């Protein structure tokens, strides 16, 4: 067994590997860029080596620097995590040639299966069912359109070295095929240093189900059940679960055996995943093989009771797998939500900056501890006060729950999301809550087109269902009454000027367009010692009990006898006197004031925001990589204006109306902030 390993990665996966290594008594070495000098993985590791500036192509993608760091620190082995160099066969080979053990598959297996074009050819030769398409690299956008026409739309345009949704587009017509080819090549070149692109038929209404494999150096390969990864947005997984609510035991066995046969054909060892697209008749087709650990590996760990990182390390050290296929368990139901730094109410645009508050829900399951299951686990690479840089992907954390069945897992996840506090950057938690509450998701009736079908026009606050929206109003009044009671108890108040807590309030739900909602609320039977009160909102009565303190962002308690977790934040960006209340994904900004103050507030004029329709604004922080227009140029609606790069994704900005460019206000290469003007139309 190794004494010291280096993790050639960052963020939550680096922290995840460190967790298992520590339990195994193995020393760890972290590598970091300038942007990550204070990152959590650097603090957790026993040693850390600086490898370059923030852009990944100048740091985490520099194999020579990472190998030098191994030699400098005496690390005997290297774990690549996922992303970056994890599926780079040339890097894996060079690591081995330098006498360092690569904790992953051998380079020849990686070369055979990690390349999407070559792996499809191999799979076809092995008798595995494959999707129709052209499995050779395409040189021009015009050729991509020709091939797409021959296959028939829709088609999937895919970078050979792609992954994580990068370098992938679905095209439904010639224009989308042409533009998608160009974007795929650019993203693939920037993210993976390999711009080869191919085209295949896009199977409509498909399920994305993958088989987890583990193989050793002694010819043993096992499949560790499946993961359901069909809930995707822009081809990036949002919620994963294990097992799948869709496939039968017979299909599971057939997929598993086919995946094992494919892995054995290339002498595969270490952890890997074979991805399949599955039709509604449970017919399945080989999609690709990921020759690395997957982001969603924790759900497999939950239902099998196995530590996949530990298995990878033991296999790399030459140990034989101690379990057989018959030993692989499928116990309970696990789910994972990817918590990303993106604003779901602004078309999921990246959100970067400082984490003013980061308080995940209490963990009852831990990484690398196979004795504690059926609870909540958080895998993260950030901490309170940390930074979400614009140079890397948008993931803040992974929230994992394990229940006895699927409905229990959904209930646990919803409650855990309620208590996940993130301030300073936007997150996709409201969207996750909406998905978990959707009747079709709860029933297991969904496919990869689910999000596009139900949220194709974007995601708005009203898309978040809530069993009882008046509860948020009642909770705001409860918190305000608690605050007033404390103010009334302060000693030394002047006679006639003492604070009267009162019982009657008006909760003003603030609307962006000024159409506020005024609701009278009555709070009585308040008992400060037990933290309880009766709150009346219209015809609804709420017996609320909570001993959470006034400065707690996450509030725990019970309402009418049922336990709840919610968040109440004092002050909003637009109103420091308001309360922001969040529960089950629904968020409201309210003022809790006296009836007389409410009368006066209703008379206040509404200040409309300035008209910015003449400007093209940066919708997020990022790097302006291209300005496609010039002063005086006539632009039509839908025409490309600028391209912004953030979190390894290209975002193209289009004109929303016809016009003439009056001014170009930002230059190529400039770092932009949210809502910064780029172009002004005359």
- Domain residue ranges of the chain, discontinuous segments joined by +: 4-103, 132-201, 207-456, 470-488+500-602, 615-681
Task: Determine if residue 677 is left, alpha or beta; phi over 0 gives left, psi from -120 to 50 gives alpha, anything else beta.
Answer: beta
Confidence at residue 456, expressed as pLDDT on a 0 to 100 scale: 85
User: 78 pairs with which residues across the strands?
Assistant: 6, 102
Mean pLDDT of 66-91: 96
Q: What is the mean pLDDT of residues 131-159?
A: 87
| CATH code for the domain defined by 132-201 | 3.30.1490.20
CATH number of the 4-103 domain: 3.40.50.20
Alpha-carbon distance of 54 to 59, in angstroms, equals 7
Per-residue model confidence (pLDDT) at position 495 = 87
255-259, 623-627, 644-648: least confidently modelled range: 644-648
pLDDT at 370: 74
Cα 322 to Cα 302: distance, rounded to the nearest angstrom: 19
Judged against a pLDDT cut of 80, whether residue 162 lies above it is answered with no
Average pLDDT, the chain: 92
Region 557-574: mean pLDDT is 92
Top mean-pLDDT range of 125-139, 306-320, 461-475, 514-528: 306-320
Residue 141: strand, helix, or coil:
helix
682 — pLDDT class (breaks 50, 70, 90): confident
Tokens of 108: 């020849």
Mean pLDDT, range 299-314, rounded to an integer: 97
Supply 144's token pair.
């991509």
Q: How far apart are CA 190 and CA 58, in angstroms?
A: 11
Residue 191 — pLDDT band, cuts 50, 70, 90? confident
Sign of CA dihedral 69, 73, 74, 77: negative
- Distances from the Cα of 47 to the Cαs of 14, 51, 69, 636, in angstroms? 13, 13, 10, 55
What pLDDT, on the 0 to 100 scale, is given for residue 589? Answer: 94
User: For residue 277, what pLDDT is reported?
Assistant: 93
Number of other residues whose CB lies within 10 A of the CB of residue 637: 10
Q: Which pLDDT band, with edges at 50, 70 and 90, does 506 fall under?
A: very high
pLDDT at 189: 85
Cβ(230)–Cβ(447) under 8 Å? yes
Asked: is 615-681 a CATH 1.10.1060.10 domain? The reply is no
pLDDT per residue over 38-50, tens digit each?
Answer: 999 999 999 999 9
pLDDT reading at 533 higher than 70? yes
Give the model confidence (pLDDT) of 663-678 as tens digits: 999 999 998 888 899 9
Q: What is the distance, to the nearest Å, from the Cα of residue 29 to the centroid of all Cα atoms in its chain?
A: 26
pLDDT at 163 exceeding the cut of 80 = no
Residues 353-401 pLDDT 10s = 889 999 999 999 988 787 788 999 999 999 999 888 888 888 999 999 9
Mean pLDDT over residues 19-43, rounded? Answer: 97
Q: Which residues are catalytic?
A: 288
**Superfamily holding 207-456:** ATP-grasp fold, B domain (3.30.470.20)
DSSP string, 349-403: EE--EE-SEEEPPPPSS-TT-TT--SSEEEEES--TT-EE-TTS--EEEEEEEEE
Beta-bridge partner residues of 378: 399
Contact 120, 128 (CB under 8 A): no
For the chain, give the percent of residues with pLDDT over 70. Answer: 99
Question: For residue 262, what pLDDT band results from cuts at 50, 70 and 90?
Answer: very high
Q: Which fold has domain 470-488+500-602?
A: Glycoprotein, Type 4 Pilin (3.30.700)
Q: Residue 500, class by beta-carbon neighbours within 10 Å (0-12 exposed, 13-18 middle, 19+ buried)?
A: exposed
How many angstroms separate the CA atoms of 469 and 447, rounded? 29
For position 164, what pLDDT does the model report? 65
Position 368 scores a pLDDT of: 79
- Determine the Cα–Cα distance for residues 7 and 15; give it in Å rounded to an integer: 9
Cβ distance 28 to 18 under 8 Å?
yes
pLDDT score recorded for residue 650: 78
pLDDT over threshold 90, residue 234: no
**pLDDT of residue 132 exceeding 80:** no
Dist. CA 522–CA 520, nearest whole Å: 7
User: pLDDT tens for residues 386-443?
Assistant: 888 888 888 999 999 999 999 999 999 999 999 999 999 999 999 999 999 999 999 9
pLDDT mean over 511-528: 91
pLDDT at 9 over 90: yes
């Amino acid at each position: 067994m190794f004494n010291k390993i280096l993790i050639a990665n960052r963020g939550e996966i680096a922290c995840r590997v460190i967790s298992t290594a520590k339990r195994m008594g193995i020393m760890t070495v972290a590598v970091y860029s300038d942007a990550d000098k204070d990152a959590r993985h650097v603090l957790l590791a026993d040693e850390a080596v600086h490898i370059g500036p923030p852009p990944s192509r100048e740091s985490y993608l520099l194999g020579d620097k990472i190998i030098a760091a191994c030699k400098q620190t005496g690390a005997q082995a290297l774990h690549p995590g996922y992303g970056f160099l994890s599926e780079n066969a040339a890097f894996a080979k060079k690591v081995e040639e330098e006498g360092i053990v690569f904790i992953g598959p051998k380079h020849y297996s990686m070369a055979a299966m990690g390349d999407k074009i070559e792996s499809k050819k191999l799979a076809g030769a092995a008798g595995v069912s494959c999707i129709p398409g052209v499995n050779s690299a395409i040189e021009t956008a015009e050729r991509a359109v020709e091939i797409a026409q021959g296959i028939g739309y829709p088609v999937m345009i895919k970078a050979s070295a792609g992954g994580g949704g990068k370098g992938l587009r679905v095209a439904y017509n010639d224009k989308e095929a042409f533009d998608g080819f160009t974007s795929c090549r650019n993203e693939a070149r920037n993210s993976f240093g390999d711009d080869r692109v191919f085209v295949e038929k896009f199977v409509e209404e498909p399920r994305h189900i993958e088989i987890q494999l583990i193989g050793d150096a002694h010819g043993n390969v096992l499949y560790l059940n499946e993961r359901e990864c069909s809930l995707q947005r822009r081809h990036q997984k949002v919620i994963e679960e294990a097992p799948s609510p869709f496939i039968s035991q017979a299909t599971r066995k057939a997929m598993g055996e086919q995946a094992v046969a494919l892995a054995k054909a290339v002498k595969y060892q270490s952890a890997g995943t074979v991805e399949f697209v599955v039709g509604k008749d449970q017919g399945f087709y080989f999609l690709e093989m990921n020759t690395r650990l997957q982001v969603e590996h924790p759900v497999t760990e939950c239902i099998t009771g196995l530590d996949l990182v530990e298995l990878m390390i033991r296999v790399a050290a030459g140990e034989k797998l101690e379990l057989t296929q018959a030993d692989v368990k499928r116990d309970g139901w696990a789910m994972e939500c990817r918590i990303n730094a993106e604003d779901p109410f602004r078309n999921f645009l990246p959100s970067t900056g400082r984490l003013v508050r980061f308080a995940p829900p209490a963990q009852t399951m831990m990484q690398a501890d196979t004795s504690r299951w059926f609870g909540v686990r958080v895998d993260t690479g950030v901490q309170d006060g940390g930074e979400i840089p614009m140079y890397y992907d948008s993931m803040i954390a992974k929230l994992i729950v394990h229940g006895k069945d699927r409905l229990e897992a959904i209930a646990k996840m919803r409650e855990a999301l309620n208590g996940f506090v993130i301030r300073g950057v936007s997150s996709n938690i409201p969207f996750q809550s909406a998905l978990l509450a959707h009747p079709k998701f709860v029933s297991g009736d969904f496919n990869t087109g689910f999000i596009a079908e139900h949220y194709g026009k974007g995601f708005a606050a009203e898309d978040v269902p809530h069993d009882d929206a008046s509860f948020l109003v009642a909770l705001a009044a409860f918190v305000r009454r608690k605050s007033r009671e404390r103010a009334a108890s302060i000693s030394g108040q002047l006679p006639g000027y003492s604070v009267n807590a009162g019982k009657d309030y008006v909760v003003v739900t603030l609307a962006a367009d000024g159409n506020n909602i005024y609701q009278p609320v009555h709070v009585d039977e308040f008992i400060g010692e037990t933290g309880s009160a009766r709150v009346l909102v219209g015809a609804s009565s709420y017996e609320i009990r909570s001993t959470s303190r006034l400065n707690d962002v996450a509030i725990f308690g019970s309402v009418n006898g049922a336990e709840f977790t919610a968040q109440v934040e004092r002050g909003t960006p637009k109103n420091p006197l308001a309360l922001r209340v969040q529960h089950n994904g629904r968020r409201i900004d309210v003022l809790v004031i006296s009836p007389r103050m409410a009368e006066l507030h209703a008379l206040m004029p509404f200040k409309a925001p300035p008209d910015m329709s003449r400007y093209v604004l940066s919708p997020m922080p990022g790097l302006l990589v291209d300005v496609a227009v010039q002063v005086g140029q006539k632009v039509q609606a839908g025409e490309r204006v600028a391209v912004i790069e953030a979190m390894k994704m290209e975002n193209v900005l289009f004109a929303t109306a016809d016009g003439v460019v009056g001014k170009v206000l930002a230059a190529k290469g400039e770092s932009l902030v949210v809502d910064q003007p780029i172009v002004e139309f005359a």
